[in-house]
Structure 1
Amino acid sequence: MNSPTARHPGLAALEARLREDLAWLELPARSWVPPRTHEGRPVVSVAIIGGGMAGLAAAASLAHLGVDAVIFDQSPQGFEGPWATTARMETLRSPKQLTGPALGLPALTFRAWFEAQFGGEAWAALDKIPRLQWMDYLRWYREVLGLDVRNDHRITSIVPLDDGDGDGVVALSVSHAGRDSVVYARHVVLATGRDGLGGPSVPAFAKALPKRFWAHSSDEMDYGTLRGKRVGVIGAGASAMDSAATALEAGAASVDLLIRRADIPRVNKGKGAGNPGLTHGHAALPDAWKWRIRHYINVQQVPPPRGSTLRVSRHENARFNLGSPILDVTVAGNALHVRTPQGLFELDFLVFATGFNIDPASRPEFASFARHIRTWSDRYTPPAGDEDRELTDSPDLGPAFEFLEKTPGTCPGLARIHCFCAPATLSHGALSGDIPAVSDGAKRLSLALAAVLYREDIGHHYANLEAFEEPEVFGDEWTPAGPPTTSAVHPEPEPQR
């Protein structure tokens, strides 16, 4: 759908400026990837699964390089990613001036989009970007770049078909409007977000509870159903604060935050480490340094934003229970008895703000290749005391974000599937989903894919080189000189004796 803000007259001038900028940079490049067919059907050069921010940035960067890409997203148009569905923060956590998916184009930034409609004074007065306004910006981004996004398309299986001759494809089973079909692509990019290779992480005891008593913070749910209920939120990160505040604003009788730690983290270590050196240098670091950096950030944990925390604490019926890990939970009639070291909590509903796990085998669409993915547990053994489940389970990726085989030769074509989502962080750094460096990640991915596609088609490109016959000169630009005249001939000097 078209965003209502896309009709604002101030955007017309911005869009004209963007078209001019692209023309001056000769973007997008002309198409150069030769068309292919498989079993008589056309093959997409790059299929991207996920039309959120990362998927859009990847498709735009590929288009700039002259590579065709199609995005498949299971959500209705305009509701890709979490922003208008499962995200519950009032504003983004990132500073407003970060350029996000703009790919180095000033006219494509959120700031340009915002000022075109609301002016410079409004920008100066803005603290953080409202969450739903960011979604409006991404809708405009998709529209103004003319990206090919197929909404309401669910991918049910991904099967690499490759006999090692370089002509392999990936078969995507697609469900749309009650019908199933198969799409073939030379390469597939998984731009599937935080839970891109797994799903919500919840403790084992939660799975034993009736589902009417609990939800994960990433679940789509109507928080209005919590009105009048005693709610427990497990965790102290950003999503915990967002869930707690949403429950309180929906009329929950009370919200108890059950926080394992004795204190809430105060410093965002990852923010302090961010700089262009890390962005571009992480992938080339020795394994030990990659692990050390990401493990340290994980151990220190990311604190919740100040604004999100104040959004909770301004409610008198919100309680921050520190040093309260869950010991056990039992069902008592229509309530839950939650036992912690601080005492027993009687609650009506629990929200688990406990993050995500990396477990490709848990996703049916990955069944054909999940067991073949090489992970960091196959690559690196950390020092004693630095074990980290998230890092151990992370995929060990190649330079194009491609999966590598655990045992070479057992899954031909696996390298045609590229992980451009959160689990890529240990291999490539935080380039595949977070706002600060998503453009850098999209460019790295697209440049690497362009190189792979060129290499795969080198015979075709060499034939084009040989067949190229567009003359630069025509032979009428000069007059050939005739034989030299006598006066023009200078005799050889006599050799000296």
Structure 2
Amino acid sequence: MTLSSPPDELPGGLEKLEERLKQDLSWLELPAKTWVPERCVDNRTVRDVVIIGGGMAGLTASGMLTRYGVQNHVVYDRAPAGREGPWVTYARMETLRSPKTLTGPCLGLPSLTFRAWYESRFGVDAWVELGFIPRETWMEYLRWFRKVLDLPVENETELLDIRYRGDGLLDLLVRQQGREESVLARHLVLATGRDGLGGGYMPEIFKALPPELRAHSEDTINFEALRGRRVTVIGAGASAMDNAAAALEAGASRVDMLIRRKDIPRINKFTGIGSQGVVHGFQALPDAWKWRFLDYTLAAQTPPPRPSTLRVSKHPNAFFHLGCPVDAVAVEGDHLRVTTPRGVFETDFIIAATGFAVDIGQRPELKSIAPSIRFWKDRFTPAPEDNPSGSLNPELEFSPDLGPAFEFQPKEGVVCPALEKIHCFCFPATLSHGKVSGDIPAISDGADRLAKGIVSSLFVEDRAIHYRNLEQFNTPELQGDEWQDIGF
């Protein structure tokens, strides 16, 4: 099977699966009945939870909240319906690198797994023949996931600002299909992906270049406009390979990959700690051990997938330059002159596949809380034995220091009650919680941890209401006619 020739669909296959899912949920008595008291302030309905981001993490979080009876929540995504997340936007790989057997966002339900969806749609033989999952197919699965669970996603809605009220509520300014409005909420979840607290990291040496001559790998790039032109890609990670391949396939005359390291990493160290022990135990590690694990892993770097690398190297006009950092870049007319220790390259366009950075200055919607957020650098400095790389990694230093339910915490001496209501359920949570908020393997476990934390907070905050309801509960189980007192 190839990407250009998908298997034939089985008539009625998905309908049967959806009936099975309904039966599974019924047997498990899911979703739980709503139990959170309704709240209305100033004649306005208060949302128990608002989730920002309708990609995989946001959908999984929504599914878990629904499962635990928190029905009064909403998911906002700024993209049009069906284009949430990276899969059909700036992701340019042919297939996912994750094994097809991972259960991912299934919420612990077999009939909600990708495998169940794929086999029901295309058949068991097609599943056996499937290698890695085409990214467009994964996006189709996520669209089905949203539909079959009837998740409350509202598209073309963007968070603009967060305000904290004295009554403990968050006042969220959103723009929905061009119209600004205020939404009251008790909790806010940022399920905003890899760049959730910042954006693509563009080194200053490239940032100073004219925008028409450079891009970051997460940008929208018109690859057709690169036909017949020379393209230089900075980096050797997965996104570097995918962008180089996209340029080559669009007809670039040549693609040079400038790779700072003298060799491309071969071993994915994150795979080496992919166990249930890590999923459930990482958050309980002492801080020094958390830092040690991630500093070692990040220093080793993650290799690009083999298929992505072969996708580039099969082109005779693709060139790999190892041990080749960029020393200088100069504009010369309509092209660029790139100086490296291995020589000077002339190119027409640079793609910086240089990763992401936590930079709250790039997120204007967080401006009101940004000065209060505590990062790891604000309270922790690793000892030499806990910092295998030998230098302080900015990605770790600027990781938010999160509480047990992914909630932000304030810097020492700062009072900001809003932070305990705002949950960072995206990739920058990794140092605090492990890889449970941004990647496929453990996203359901992370969403479960998040949802249980929010459920606990909602119940504790409403304890007086629940106690009053307990006092007023008077539904008898016995009618008084079940026995007769005959005395002694």
Indicate whether 1:393 and 2:398 are aligned. yes
For residues 7 and 216 of structure 1, the distance between their equivalents in structure 2, rounded to whole angstroms, comes to: 41
1:492 aligns to what? none
2:101 aligns to what? 97
User: Which residue type is aligned with residue 38 of structure 1?
Assistant: V
Secondary structure of the residue aligned to 2:264 is: coil
More off after superposition, 355-364 vs 100-109: 355-364
User: Which residue type is aligned with residue 413 of structure 1?
Assistant: A
Question: Per-residue deviation at 1:243?
Answer: 0.2
2:180 aligns to what? 180
User: Which residue type is aligned with residue 192 of structure 1?
Assistant: T
2:141 to 137, 144, 150: 137
Secondary structure of the residue aligned to 1:76 is: coil
Secondary structure of the residue aligned to 1:410 is: coil
Matches within 5 A, 1:137-286: 137-161=141-165, 163=166, 167-286=167-286
1:445 aligns to what? 450
For residues 41 and 477 of structure 2, the distance between their equivalents in structure 1, rounded to whole angstroms, comes to: 38
For residues 164 and 271 of structure 2, the distance between their equivalents in structure 1, rounded to whole angstroms, comes to: 38
Secondary structure of the residue aligned to 2:442 is: helix
Indicate whether 1:111 and 2:115 are aligned. yes
For residues 316 and 274 of structure 1, the distance between their equivalents in structure 2, rounded to whole angstroms, comes to: 37
2:92 to 88, 94, 114: 88
Rg: which structure is higher?
1
Question: Per-residue deviation at 1:278?
Answer: 0.5
User: Which residue type is aligned with residue 79 of structure 1?
Assistant: R
Question: Per-residue deviation at 1:7?
Answer: 10
Secondary structure of the residue aligned to 2:441 is: helix
Question: Per-residue deviation at 1:433?
Answer: 1.4
For residues 62 and 9 of structure 2, the distance between their equivalents in structure 1, rounded to whole angstroms, comes to: 21
Matches within 5 A, 1:304-323: 304-323=304-323
1:426 aligns to what? 431
**8 Å contact kept, 1:361–1:371:** no
Aligned length: 475
Question: Per-residue deviation at 1:221?
Answer: 2.0
Indicate whether 1:303 and 2:303 are aligned. yes
2:13 to 10, 19, 29: 10
For residues 43 and 324 of structure 2, the distance between their equivalents in structure 1, rounded to whole angstroms, comes to: 61
CA RMSD of aligned residues (A): 1.2
Secondary structure of the residue aligned to 1:430 is: coil
User: Which residue type is aligned with residue 57 of structure 1?
Assistant: T
**8 Å contact kept, 1:91–1:128:** yes
**Cα 1:6–1:410, aligned 2, differ >3 Å: closer, same or farther?**
farther
2:83 aligns to what? 79
**Cα 1:220–1:7, aligned 2, differ >3 Å: closer, same or farther?**
farther
Question: Per-residue deviation at 1:38?
Answer: 2.7
Deviation by residue 1:280-299 (Cα, 9 ceiling, x = unmatched) = 00101000000000001100
1:460 to 451, 460, 465: 465
For residues 445 and 426 of structure 2, the distance between their equivalents in structure 1, rounded to whole angstroms, comes to: 13
More off after superposition, 30-39 vs 319-328: 30-39
For residues 57 and 113 of structure 1, the distance between their equivalents in structure 2, rounded to whole angstroms, comes to: 16
Indicate whether 1:43 and 2:37 are aligned. no
Question: Per-residue deviation at 1:223?
Answer: 1.1
Deviation by residue 1:56-92 (Cα, 9 ceiling, x = unmatched) = 0000000000002200000000110010111000000
TM-score, normalised to structure 1, is: 0.94
1:122 to 107, 119, 126: 126
For residues 468 and 309 of structure 1, the distance between their equivalents in structure 2, rounded to whole angstroms, comes to: 65
User: Which residue type is aligned with residue 43 of structure 1?
Assistant: V
TM-score, normalised to structure 2, is: 0.96
User: Which residue type is aligned with residue 440 of structure 1?
Assistant: D
Question: Per-residue deviation at 1:412?
Answer: 2.0
1:23 aligns to what? 26
For residues 341 and 378 of structure 1, the distance between their equivalents in structure 2, rounded to whole angstroms, comes to: 37
For residues 8 and 439 of structure 1, the distance between their equivalents in structure 2, rounded to whole angstroms, comes to: 30
Secondary structure of the residue aligned to 1:435 is: coil
Question: Per-residue deviation at 1:39?
Answer: 2.5
Question: Per-residue deviation at 1:31?
Answer: 0.4
Unaligned runs of 5+ in 1: 485-497
For residues 76 and 367 of structure 1, the distance between their equivalents in structure 2, rounded to whole angstroms, comes to: 25
2:59 to 56, 61, 76: 56
For residues 119 and 324 of structure 2, the distance between their equivalents in structure 1, rounded to whole angstroms, comes to: 46
Question: Per-residue deviation at 1:128?
Answer: 0.2
Question: Per-residue deviation at 1:409?
Answer: 4.8
Question: Per-residue deviation at 1:389?
Answer: 0.6
For residues 432 and 350 of structure 2, the distance between their equivalents in structure 1, rounded to whole angstroms, comes to: 34
Question: Per-residue deviation at 1:179?
Answer: 1.2
For residues 214 and 409 of structure 1, the distance between their equivalents in structure 2, rounded to whole angstroms, comes to: 40
Secondary structure of the residue aligned to 1:103 is: coil
**8 Å contact kept, 2:10–2:121:** no
Question: Per-residue deviation at 1:9?
Answer: 1.7
Secondary structure of the residue aligned to 1:27 is: coil
User: Which residue type is aligned with residue 59 of structure 2?
Assistant: L
For residues 465 and 408 of structure 1, the distance between their equivalents in structure 2, rounded to whole angstroms, comes to: 39
More off after superposition, 136-145 vs 176-185: 176-185
User: Which residue type is aligned with residue 364 of structure 1?
Assistant: P
For residues 440 and 371 of structure 2, the distance between their equivalents in structure 1, rounded to whole angstroms, comes to: 31
Secondary structure of the residue aligned to 1:413 is: helix
Question: Per-residue deviation at 1:379?
Answer: 2.1
**8 Å contact kept, 1:372–1:407:** no
User: Which residue type is aligned with residue 403 of structure 1?
Assistant: F
Unaligned runs of 5+ in 2: 1-7, 385-389
1:65 aligns to what? 68
Question: Per-residue deviation at 1:6?
Answer: 10
For residues 391 and 289 of structure 2, the distance between their equivalents in structure 1, rounded to whole angstroms, comes to: 12
For residues 62 and 6 of structure 1, the distance between their equivalents in structure 2, rounded to whole angstroms, comes to: 32
User: Which residue type is aligned with residue 16 of structure 1?
Assistant: E
